Structure 1
Amino acid sequence: MVRILLFCWAFFTVLLVQGQRFLKGTVKDKEKRIIPYAKIYVKNDPTLRTVCDENGYYEMGLMPGEYYLVVTAMGYEDREYYLGMGDADVVKDFQLYPPNLKTVEDVVVSVKKSNPGREIMLKVVNKRDSINPWNRPHQVSVYIKASEKLDFKSSGKSKEKENDEPNFDAKQDSLLKSMNLVEVQLERSFAPPNKVKEVRNAYEVHGSSQNLYYTTTVKSNFNFFENLLHLDDLHETPVSSPISIPGILSYRYRLEEKYEENGRMISKIKIIPRNTATTTLEGYIWVIDTLWMVQKLSLTMNKGNLLVYDHFQIEQTFSHPGDSMCVLEKQVLTYGVKYKNETSKASTVALFSNYNFTPKFPAKYFSTELAVTEQTAYEKDSSYWNGIREIGLSDEERRYIFLKDSIEEAHNKKEYLDSVDAVFNKITILKVLWFGVDHRNRVKKQQFSFGSLAEFVQPIGIGGPRIAPNFGYFKKWENQRTYDFYVRSSIGFLNKDPKGVIWNRYRFDPFHQGDVTASVSHEFDVIRGFDAITQIYRRNNFIEATTLRAGVNYELFNGLYVGADLNFAIRRSLKDFKFLELTDAFIPNDSAMVFDPYNASLVSFECSYVPQQKYMREPYRKVVLGSAWPTFSVYYRKGVKNLFGSVIDYDYLSFDIRQNFKLGLLGNSSYRVATGTFLSMRDVREPDLRYQRRSDPIWFSNPLYSFQGLDTTLPTKSWVHEAHFVHHDNGAILNKIPFMKKTRIGLVFGGGAMYVQEHDYQHYELLAGLERNFKLSRRRLRVGVYGCASDGNKTAPRMDFKVSFAILDDRSMKWNF
């Protein structure tokens, strides 16, 4: 019955989509500012509905006809619009208006006595459009000082540790290890609604900047005069601002104190979340009476959805030129995280000065390049910093910088570098047995690596035990170009068969990620490289291949990445190979595939494009910040007959669209849609077929690239269409249950579908699960438990339960799905 219902749903969905036309546009307020996550639905038929994205953009499929549309958003009055839908797509923008603030007050609460705290905040919210400095184009100078103090818990054991650095006085050594400091001086340009460009004039790192936040102004902007704060590298969900109309519905306001300062009355308002499950901030806002402007604020983020830190506090101080707007002068961020044997306490102080609210930006000044740092920014000396530093350093910070500078000067001497290398290059038993032996020359910026004994002896393999020595070489130049070299040889005890690989890569353009690779190998190869763990070890999945490969990758222009690869291989069967059969009694296996040796020449091209990709430019590299657009990819592979004696002859083409985006306070979603087919198949062998991988037992594989309930491995030659969707609520749903926010457990759900044309094979699945993040050393580990219901036109309904483990990427601050 489930199979029939799913098939009917898919069939009628296709029919409806073919007859639909699209209504699209944006939703804005009276000031022409976008309203993210507004809802649009057909009156009297709420099943026809859509939600705007973070840029206020929407799309809605409708059949031709007449409709009355309702547009709604939190903090705005609902509006109805008439629409006559014809046989063409329609572009239509909608506009919403905030309600009368008295009406908001009446809706929010009904009490017998007034609430002066909320009345004051209502007056501030009523003026926020005029007092918001980010409603005006401007330029500003910014000085940032970010510092971190590390407290180490004593393990109670005193043991010698190998160190790449020479020993210092114990007190000095303790200070150097327990502090990190970053200073930045930059010019920031801004134009409404969200155009920004940052030019760093000076940048100095003492120690490590890994745990320090807000060393650039382009990733996050703490603008509390907007409805939502998008802090993607800090918080899993957007944060609702207490100085907004939606905030009036999300927070309670209580007048704590009134006092006079500089001849003006100041009201201290306490901010209290109405529902701690869905509201993040709490703290205080100080308001100047009669002017109804924010003097300063101090707000703390709840721990729940912070990506890395355990606590985070924002303090801002404003000036009021001409009593006309609130201009940010100082921002102090206080944050930290505690690990097993280490506690990090950090703060970032940013001073904003020399505002210019009448800038004249040249044409095309703003672009997808949001920040620029030239090499000279890293070369400023102490006299420069003493002249521009706007915040005094503590005695401890001055001593720390002095020690760091002294050490850096010593570090640049050849004698010191040689002494450090001597320590690093020392051969120890542990290196020989497990880690491998390295030899580094810091002056020449090169390193040699020799494999350990653990790598030398391989007790388990397709052909039994092998010995496999390996060697690596790495070279880096001042302009950040690099060269990698790796060689490994091996021989098996059972078959006396020599194998090996030589691999090279030269990165010739670090900024555009341009590199050239070349390799030659005589190794085992797999036919289904991404099959389930219960299938990939089988002998019929292995062949022997002598391969010559060359490839190049390059970013042609911002967001457009291309790659080309030439692969020549002589493929041989393992039919006469001796296998280790000790485990066959309890781990089922089979025989090697039988075929005559043949040559295969492959040429492949890949292109992916990310429209409007934003990035930061550094002297020799690009820091990609992401895009609001999906990533579009196309892949083409050709088997070239007669090239180097090749017998294979085919053409394969595939397309892929994938994206990750946030749904306001509801969490973040990811999807992937892909399709592919062989355009021609004059001669295709098993290693060149496209396979739909069988699902793993117990293990929850990446749901954007695999299915959880596929009980067979499908080789495919014709069109394969697949779609995947996953949504993480980040606590938006479960946190509404009492005490659930303290558990930090989130809900995830999604699904996938696949259609294989040649087999007329349909597969559908729905999944749901619970996830929680844990600290793992200095990383974040996500553990998930999931249930998956699947069905298809040629399979019986089934239910699977699985688990997964994922590590948060420290660079992108994103999970694998």
Structure 2
Amino acid sequence: MIKYTFTSFGILIILFWLFSIPQEASAQSISGYVMNQENEPVPFVNIYVKELETGTSTDSKGRYFLTLEPGDFEIIFSSIGYVTKTINVVIGDGEITKNVWLESASLELDQIVVKAKRKDPAYEIIQQVIDRKKHFLTQVKSAKSEVYVKATEEIEKKRKTPKQEKDESIGISLEGEPIDPFEEEKKKQTEKVPELNMVEMRLTLNYEYPENYKEERSAFKAYGNQSGLFIPRFSEADFNFYRNLVDLKGIAEVPIISPVSRTAILSYKYKLEEVLNEDGILVYKIKVIPRKKGNSTCHGYLYINDGTWNINRLDLSFEKGGLKFYDAFRLKQDYKQIEDSLWIPYRQAFFYETKQGRSKIFKGNTVLHYADYQKDYEFPDKFFGNEVAITTKEAYKRDSSYWNSTRPEPLTTKQQEVVAYRDSVEAVHNSKAYQDSIQAKYNKVTIGEILYHGVGFRNNTKKSNIYISSLLSIINFEVIGGFRFGPFMSYFRRWESGRMMFTSGSLNIGVKNVDLQGRGHVWFRYDPHRLADLTFSAGRSFYSVNSFDAYLNQLKISNYILTDRVFLSHRIELFNGFYLFTGFDFSDRRSIENYETSTILNKVIDETDPLVFENYSALITELRFSYTPAQKFMTEPNRKVVLGSKYPTISITHRKGWNGPFSSDIDFDYVDLSLKQDLILGIFGNSKYTVRAGKFINTKELKFVDFKRFRQSDPYLYSDPLHSFQSLDTSLVATDLFFEVHHIHHFNGALINNVPIIKKLKLRAVAGGGFLWIKQSDYRHEELFAGVERVIKLGPRRRLRVGVFGVVAESNHTGLTTDFKISFDLIDTWKKEWSY
């Protein structure tokens, strides 16, 4: 260690002071005031020294100060509402005082914004952008561009402590031999490579103002699992922040209020952090700060070009509470100049992350590159329609040489490893020898399969699979008669054309009644582009008269009959959004009065009386038309993918009970009309509703089994509010006219997000209600419910929504009642939507 004495330390100070004198003496200052034409000081003026690419700004009193080396300099003074002024100065040996006067610009600013935040020029800059929003939105009437998409997801496992790694490196294997640390490290490195999922895609993006998009996908390659990757469809992901609201479908529950929306001043604060010079253009870096954090706001930075007042680039992050699947989501969007005042996005980068407990972190990144931009492209008539994306057959056949020659930016080292590794693995996996070996291994029957998992036989060439149930799964329990024993089998096959077939069969025998039952089922999708399906089933089984009734009612013996049934149906899309369903249902219906029906359930459900009636046959046909206007869809080489519509779906159904054919003993006609729709109401949340009206127009031979039924509400449990009521104290039937309405609205944080305590609990308000009227009993029921929900993570992408509701109901038979309910709803990870 070096120890300094007082003398040596003093010498060092003196030397440092002496060496610093020439440097201090060589720098000179220039200062002064910046004033307007009325000799009023102008605060926060941007001052830029062109030669040095640096600068400063005036203080709140309009004063500035710069320290410069001797030389000639060009200094630029600019401020919102004033004409930019440039002066030339020569810095010599003395200090310079230079006052500058700026002329007012002819453009008048929004007075409310100026008065609200005059102290920071960021507000005036943002207002300049807002004033030109309409121009930026409409300056491109149509366009065509080439897009490259790369989406990746890395899986990071929690690092182990050095002690854990050391303990494992000298551990003992199951065979009693020491673990080779070098082999273990090699294994870890091999395992690392597949821990990255990736998709690459090339497409042509076609656009027509205001919201018409069509993708033509020409290349697609996937590595690993795609479920966690964000791959936007442009028809649903228009990240145009010149719009007042930016819809983030598939990402967030509600749209984001743009920081340059007409009412942005109510949602955001702004701070000018830096003035940059980029290729001769002054760019203002503005920090965007939500006034109150909520699901409809974002935070980050906007970069605005001086003079043209357009977005140069942006870097924004979205609140975790509003995200559907991700724990964090960030967007970076870069623009480039095409014409004098036309700047378009040329690169978008999305960063997203989700966690699985404390052990795994899934980090995703999606990059979009735009090239070959053609403005005012003339598209053929009727080019844009409901088909918003199409993938060519060649898209899935692109090889590595194609991708190597078309990537606008190289892959990272890890991505290159993954591509090389998985390409080689894919080549091996696609070989006949490997497929045969895997097939032989899969088809090998084990004791575990026979006892627990079930036995499977696969044919890789035909893409088919046979499954036979295990010994444990042959044990079943029925409400009628208790335990039954019997096997289950299924067969699945998929063709390259996209056609699919699934068949299944079961056979079982009851312990108490020694009765044989069974069922066969066939489903066949013969035209995947028209969503055309055929369904056939036949068999004998106990049939629930009201299969959608309350859970406890499903345990009642009086809810069941015995049927020998044959069912045949067909569904097809006649034209986009218009579906035709036809059904043929024949059954012999029998009472179970002669069956031994008692089980252990009778101790819980105090009911042992079966339905008693004379056996009869029933033939019912069904015809249903449903139409969803403007249904958006994607076309794949071997299927059609429906994306939904902003318009309601209307359905008309006619169900006919026949008298005579096949000795059928019934005679009725039933018709109903239904309407359902999902409504996106911006920052105020989303609503769903269903409306249905129906009537039996013929009831000559209408049996009890065929009545229109309304389920009784479950105690404590909240049921699907779009198809049931929460406070209906009994099961109801209709044999004439009825009318029902169901509605639910999720505020998605809009209502209670301003309450700090509730906001920390991540609760969301929900409200809705229902109405029912049945003519023949003159029954009227209405109810309102409200509650809070919270989304719980079950894994990296699975979500459970738990809610607590209060219900107020009234009918013309029971009067006012109140109740409490608990709800559970799992999100559909494929559609990325909740059930209700």
Contact 1:556 1:562 (8 Å CA) reproduced: yes
Which deviates more, 258-267 or 616-625?
258-267
**2:344 is the alignment partner of 1:327:** yes
- Aligned twin of 2:97: none
2:111 is equivalent to residue 103 of structure 1? yes
**Residues 479 and 556, structure 2, Cα contact 8 Å, conserved in 1:** no
Q: Which residue is 2:121 aligned to?
A: 116
Counterpart in 2 of 1:372?
390
Q: 2:523 aligns with which of 481, 493, 505?
A: 505
- The one-letter amino acid paired with 2:305 is I
Q: Which residue of the partner structure matches residue 638 of structure 1? A: 656
- Which residue matches 2:809? 790
Structure with the bigger RCO (C-alpha within 8 Å, sep 6+) is: 1
Letter of the 2:267 partner, please give it.
Answer: S
Query: Quick one: which amino acid aligns to residue 135 of structure 2?
Result: S
Q: Which residue of 2 aligns with 1:626?
A: 644
The alignment status of 1:127 with 2:146, answered yes or no, reads no
The 5-angstrom pairing of residues 336-735 of structure 1 reads 336-340=353-357, 341-735=359-753
Aligned to 1:779: 798
Select between 515-524 and 426-435 the one with higher mean Cα deviation.
426-435
Aligned 8 A contact 2:597 2:608 in 1: no
In the alignment, residue 363 of structure 1 is paired with which amino acid?
D
Deviating more after overlay: 615-624 vs 125-134: 125-134
Gaps of 5+ in 1: 1-98, 161-166
Give the deviation of 1:263 after TM superposition.
2.3
SS in 2 for 1:540: helix
Corresponding residue number in structure 1 for 2:267: 250
- Three-state SS of the structure 2 residue aligned to 1:584 is helix
Match of 1:225 in 2: 242
Which of 288, 292, 306 pairs up with 1:289? 306
DSSP 3-state at the match of 1:623: strand
- The one-letter code matched in structure 1 to 2:145 is V
Look up the equivalent residue of 1:104 and give its one-letter code: I
Residues in 2 aligned to 1:716 and 1:469: alpha-carbon distance in whole angstroms: 39
Which residue matches 1:163? none
Q: Report how many aligned residue pairs link the two structures.
A: 710
**Is it true that 1:736 corresponds to 2:741 in the alignment?**
no
Q: CA deviation at 1:585?
A: 3.6
Please give the secondary structure, in 1, of the residue aligned with 2:402.
Answer: helix
Residues 344 and 552 (structure 1), Cα distance of their counterparts in 2 relative to 1, 3 Å cut: same
* 245-254 or 797-806, which deviates more: 245-254
What does 1:152-163 correspond to in 2, within 5 Å?
A: 152-153=157-158
- Counterpart of 1:121, as a letter, is I
Secondary structure of the residue that 1:569 maps to in structure 2? strand
Say whether 1:142 aligns with 2:147: yes
Of 245, 269, 277, 1:260 maps to: 277
Q: Secondary structure at the match of 2:396?
A: helix
Secondary structure of residue in 2 paired with 1:222 = coil
Query: Which stretch shows the higher mean deviation, 358-367 or 269-278?
Result: 269-278
- 1:736 is paired with a residue whose SS is coil
1:279 deviation in Å? 4.1
- What do you get for the CA RMSD once the two structures are aligned? 2.1
Q: CA deviation at 1:621?
A: 1.2
Correspondence 1:57-68 to 2 at 5 A: none
- For normalisation by structure 2, the TM-score amounts to 0.82
1:722–1:755 contact (8 Å) kept in structure 2 = yes
| C-alpha displacement of 1:584 | 2.5
C-alpha spacing 1:243/1:811, structure 2 compared with 1 (3 Å)? same
1:313/1:717 CA distance change after superposition, 3 Å: same
Contact 1:608–1:634 under 8 Å retained in 2: yes
Runs (4+) of structure 1 moved beyond 6 Å? 154-160
Q: Confirm or deny: 8 A CA contact 1:513 1:554 kept in the other structure.
A: yes
Distance 1:572 1:600 in 2: 11
TM-score (norm 1): 0.84
Residues in 2 aligned to 1:458 and 1:100: alpha-carbon distance in whole angstroms: 79
Q: CA deviation at 1:739?
A: 4.0
Distance 1:664 1:555 in 2: 31
Residue equivalent to 1:22 = none
- 1:134–1:192 CA contact under 8 A, matched in 2: no
Q: State the AA in 1 paired with 2:574.
A: L
DSSP 3-state at the match of 2:457: strand
- Equivalent position of 1:62 in the other structure: none
Partner of 2:258: 241
Find the aligned partners of 2:235 and 2:422 in 1 and give their Cα distance. Answer: 28
SS at match of 2:437: helix
How much has 1:578 moved relative to structure 2? 0.6
Q: Distance in 2 between matches of 1:562 and 1:748?
A: 35
- In the TM superposition, residue 663 of structure 1 has moved relative to its aligned partner by 1.3
Partner letter of residue 692 of structure 2? A
Change in CA separation of 1:645 and 1:302 when aligned onto 2, cut-off 3 Å: same
SS at match of 1:588: coil
- Please state how far the C-alpha of 1:484 moved relative to its aligned partner: 1.2
Q: Supply the distance in 1 between the matched residues of 2:475 and 2:139 (Cα, whole angstroms).
A: 63
The residue type paired with residue 612 of structure 1 is A
The answer (yes or no) to whether the contact 2:283–2:305 under 8 Å persists in 1 is yes
Give, in whole Å, the separation in 2 of the partners of 1:390 and 1:133.
29
Task: Please give the alpha-carbon distance, in whole angstroms, between the structure 2 residues aligned to 1:212 and 1:136.
Answer: 31
Contact 2:648 2:676 in 1 (8 A): yes
Letter in 1 for 2:835: N
**Matched residue type, 2:278:** E
Q: Which moved more, 1:182-191 or 1:319-328?
A: 319-328
Secondary structure, counterpart of 1:703 in structure 2: coil
For 2:374 and 2:645, the matched residues in 1 are separated by 29
**Cα deviation, residue 460, structure 1:** 4.9
- For residues 501 and 526 of structure 1, the distance between their equivalents in structure 2, rounded to whole angstroms, comes to 15
The alpha-carbon distance between structure 1 residues 459 and 719, as it changes in their structure 2 partners (threshold 3 A), is closer
Query: Which amino acid letter does the alignment assign opposite residue 492 of structure 2?
Result: F
CA contact (8 A) 2:588 2:617 kept: yes
Q: Structure 1 CA distance, aligned partners of 2:541 and 2:159? A: 49
Cα deviation, residue 544, structure 1: 0.6
Partner-residue secondary structure (3-state), 1:697: coil
Q: Which runs of 5+ in 2 are unaligned?
A: 1-106, 175-183
Q: Residue in 1 aligned with 2:38?
A: none
Cα distance in 2 for partners of 1:514, 1:100 equals 62
Q: Is 1:809 matched up with 2:800?
A: no
Match of 1:56 in 2: none
- Among 280, 289, 293, which residue is 1:272 paired with? 289
Q: Indicate how the Cα distance of structure 1 residues 638 and 239 shifts in structure 2: closer, same or farther if over 3 A, else same.
A: same
The residue aligned with 1:800 is 819
Shift of the alpha carbon at 1:135?
Answer: 4.1
User: What is the CA distance between 1:413 and its match in structure 2?
Assistant: 1.3
Partner residue of 2:177? none
Deviations 1:618-659 (A, max 9, x none): 111112111110011111111111111001011111111011
Q: Deviations over 1:61-112 (max 9, x none)?
A: xxxxxxxxxxxxxxxxxxxxxxxxxxxxxxxxxxxxxx98523315xx535x
SS of the equivalent of 1:648 reads strand
Taking a change above 3 Å as real, the CA distance of residues 728 and 441 of structure 1, as seen in their structure-2 partners, is same
Pairwise CA distance, 1:297: 1.0
Contact 1:130 1:324 in 2 (8 A): no
Matched with 1:65 is none
Checking the alignment, whether the CA contact within 8 Å between 2:213 and 2:234 is kept in structure 1 is no
